[in-house]
Amino acid sequence: MSSLPKFSPKDLAVDALLSAILFISQLGLSWLPNIELVSLFLILYTLVFEKHVWMILYVFVVMEGFIWGIGLWWFPYLYVWAILPACVKFLFKNRKPSAYLAATVSGIFGMLFGFFCSLTYILTGGLPAAFIWWTAGIPFDIVHGISNFILTLILFHPLYHVLTALKQS
């Protein structure tokens, strides 16, 4: 029988703070189409806070549903955002954190975000609906990928140092 991880009150407070940062960063940039810091923060949270990333991520996803409403767009968030920490865990295993690798992963994830989300539409409208939904969003995915790459390349090291200091305090 596996046991659930035990989180101290301090762990829960830090996780709540990091979830709020995710949500506020998304909300603050929501007026810009497909420009976000969530991908960067999820990469950093995976590298610095490891197993805590899952609680942080799903608190963020639930908050998204509460604020924006739960519609067809929301269900892919349950699996799409989880792809990023899983990839980071795999790609950064036994590696020193690298801004360039993180930026590349973040950029590719942004480019594929619409494709990953379109998979839900297979269930509701079939393969043609999913394909049309995905291809209509390709210009936004391009912006998403490029902005993810640039923002991660610029902000990775400063934020990594801040989060590492937060974890150590």
DSSP of 77-143 = HHHHHHHHHHHHHHHTTTS---HHHHHHHHHHHHHHHHHHHHHHHHHHHHHHHHHHHHHHTHHHHHH
DSSP state of 31: T
Cα pseudo-dihedral 113, 115, 117, 121, rounded to 10: 170
Domain spanning 9-168: which CATH class is it, in words? mainly alpha
pTM of the predicted model as reported, rounded to 2 decimal places: 0.93
pLDDT at res. 126 = 94
Model confidence band, residue 2 (pLDDT cutoffs 50, 70, 90): low
Domain boundaries, the chain: 9-168
pLDDT one-digit tens code per residue, 42-91: 999 999 999 999 999 999 999 999 999 998 889 999 999 999 999 999 99
> Phi and psi at residue 79, in whole multiples of 5°?
-115, -30
* pLDDT higher than 90, residue 6: no
pLDDT at res. 72 = 85
In sequence order, which residues have a C-beta less than 8 Å from that of residue 166 and are 6 or more positions away? 14
Locate 2 and state its tokens: 């596996």
> How many helices and strands in the chain, by DSSP H and E?
6, 0
* pLDDT higher than 80, residue 38: yes
